[in-house]
Amino acid sequence: MLRLSLSRCSAYQNKPKNNQTKENALAVADRLDLIQNISKTITSFTMSLCAVFGLGFVSQSFWRATPVVLDRIEIPAALEERGYKSDIVVKRVLDELSVYKTLAATNPKGGVEGPENAFFSSLSGDKETRIEANVGGVSLSSIEQAVRHVLQKNPVIVSGEILRADKDGASFEGRLRIVSDGGSNRTRDAKSDDVNEVIKSLAFDLFAHFDPLRAALAAERLGKRELALDVLRPIVTSGAPEERKVALWLRASVAGGVDRDQFLNEALAIDPKFFPALVAMSEFETSQRRYTEAIAFADRAIAINPNSPLGFNAKGVALRNSGNRPAGVEEFKKACALPKLTPGCHIWLGLEYMRAVDGKPATREALRQAYGEFTLAIKANPQAIWAYSHAAYVATELKDFREAKMLGARAVELDKTEPVHQLRLAGTLYHLGEKDKAKASIKEVLAAYPAMSGPRANQFPGIRQIIALANDAP
């Protein structure tokens, strides 16, 4: 859970006409700071809604800083008796909102250098939506006064309630009322038999209302694809051009499919220099084996932003898949030579070093080089799942089985649904003498993922040999 003090930001440099008003507002802000620092009861959550600056993605035109005050959430007496007080529910909503924001900022699959994360992580922090909670004994009017003076804007007031959907039923209904200047109340509903699910739904609705693009990304990473598309749909349909291009790009990422290029092309029609769409188009063309087009899109991305590894990586993959591996390696090296350490290029280089050449297994020296690249990838991103998995394979080949076990276990811990990680860990256990356990694990994986007995096994070095261990094959 993030905590944010109402700090004295640059808005204070604009002197109000009335010095006494300024002193009063400063006193309110100081009092809020004191309460937050000592009692730690005012919880705040920051949602950045500003423009990209470092990676050349979008302009600032459609991002708007919005101060928000979350007022009470009314709770029925039956729930209050179970400990669901209004202050507690408000904090829970903000806690859940923090979870969604973290999901949007960090891909749980380990791809934190991907375009989505690069886009959102490079948003400026000087203009941001701030949500202040009316908890801890500080009145709503006091918070409003401080917010107005600090941010020089009238805050949007959000209130809500949780009540029984039916008088005698077990289902609960949650509502958020979002009040805007000059507009009527906007109500968002959530229903569930579980009050905790209602709280989570209210938190997501709050996130989606003030930051729909990142909310969609968070929903996609939770495996709620349809929810993500629902959030994006109105922006794709009728959003302003600058906002639509981002929504179209995310729509392509969330929905996937062989027709995702139509959304990317539409985004590029709005802005031919939209960096993440160019990278995504390069990756799409590579997936369709149109390597000349893929390289052309990657070159356009590199020309727009030569400081990002994404364009170089996309070009490297296209060259590699086209059969020009040496040229692909050079692109990965360019990406790795950039000041910011990122995992992708190191993983690609590691894969090149550990592969068989002319039908001969990689040399020990090449394996050590590969291990070094995977280590750098893990250093760049401790959640780089495939870096752990590939490093486990290399450590096994180097007969460092204990290290391989540790790395393989970490890969499985980070992604329990990928059978390749599980098989590699089982292979390591076999070499450590835990043969019965390893064989049982291999059989369980193959039963759960029958495709691993087919062509997919050929995509990963060593997997066929590990599968053979289940039958005590040498």
Taking only the tens place, the pLDDT of each residue in 367-400 is 999 999 999 999 988 889 999 999 999 999 999 9
**CB within 8 Å of 183: residues ≥ 6 apart:** none
C-alpha dihedral (169, 194, 234, 298), degrees to nearest 10: -160
Looking at the chain, the whole-number percentage of residues with pLDDT higher than 70 is 70
**Confidence class for position 178, pLDDT limits 50, 70, 90:** confident
Residue type, 89: V
DSSP conformational letter for 150: H
pLDDT, residue 76, reads 78
Instruction: Report the candidate in 417, 422, 404 with the shortest Cα–Cα distance to residue 463.
Output: 422
Is residue 22 over pLDDT 60? no
pLDDT, residue 187, reads 46
**CB within 8 Å of 377: residues ≥ 6 apart:** 343, 344, 346, 347, 350, 384, 387
Token pair for 337: 């030579």
**Whole-Å CA distances, 105 to 6, 221, 278:** 23, 10, 21
Residue 9 Cα to chain centre, angstroms: 28
Per-residue pLDDT tens digits for 212-267: 888 898 898 888 899 999 999 999 998 889 889 999 999 998 888 778 899 999 99
Looking at the chain, the whole-number percentage of residues with pLDDT higher than 90 is 43
What is the pLDDT of the chain when averaged over all its residues? 77
What are the phi and psi torsion angles at 268 (to 5°)? Answer: -70, -25
pLDDT, residue 148, reads 43
Per-residue pLDDT tens digits for 280-326: 999 999 999 999 999 999 999 999 999 999 999 999 999 999 999 99
Looking at per-residue pLDDT, the higher value among 122 and 428 belongs to: 428
- Residues 291, 297, 298, CA angle at the centre, nearest 5°? 85
Q: What is the pTM of this model?
A: 0.74
What are the phi and psi torsion angles at 157 (to 5°)? Answer: -95, 130
Instruction: Report the candidate in 415, 414, 471 with the shortest Cα–Cα distance to residue 443.
Output: 471
**Whole-Å CA distances, 29 to 8, 51, 145, 329, 330:** 8, 27, 9, 55, 54
Q: Is 49 exposed, middle or buried (0-12, 13-18, 19+ CB in 10 A)?
A: buried
pLDDT, residue 61, reads 33
Token pair for 93: 């909503």
**Whole-Å CA distances, 336 to 1, 376, 404, 458:** 33, 10, 25, 28
| Separation between Cα atoms, residue 32 and residue 30, nearest integer Å | 5
DSSP conformational letter for 430: H
Instruction: Report the candidate in 99, 45, 102, 47 with the shortest Cα–Cα distance to residue 70.
Output: 45
Looking at per-residue pLDDT, the higher value among 448 and 136 belongs to: 448
Instruction: Report the candidate in 459, 460, 348 with the shortest Cα–Cα distance to residue 397.
Output: 460
Q: What is the mean pLDDT of residues 57-86?
A: 65
The answer to whether residues 441 and 429 touch, using CB atoms and an 8 Å cutoff, is yes
Per-residue pLDDT tens digits for 136-146: 433 434 434 44
Token pair for 287: 């997936």
DSSP conformational letter for 169: S
| Separation between Cα atoms, residue 117 and residue 361, nearest integer Å | 36
Q: Which CATH number fits domain 341-474: 1.20.1260.10, 1.25.40.10, 1.10.357.10, 1.10.10.10?
A: 1.25.40.10
Q: Which helix (H) or strand (E) holds 183?
A: none
pLDDT, residue 440, reads 95
172-179 and 186-192 as β-strands: parallel, antiparallel, unpaired? antiparallel
**Confidence class for position 119, pLDDT limits 50, 70, 90:** low
Q: For residue 101, give the 3-state DSSP assignment.
A: helix
pLDDT, residue 474, reads 52
The answer to whether residues 315 and 323 touch, using CB atoms and an 8 Å cutoff, is no
Token pair for 289: 């084996």
| Separation between Cα atoms, residue 346 and residue 337, nearest integer Å | 10
Per-residue pLDDT tens digits for 416-437: 999 999 999 999 999 999 999 9
Tell me the domain boundaries of the chain. 1-223, 341-474
| Separation between Cα atoms, residue 237 and residue 248, nearest integer Å | 9
Alpha helices in 211-324 (DSSP H): 212-221, 225-238, 241-255, 261-270, 275-287, 291-304, 309-322
Token pair for 24: 């009063």
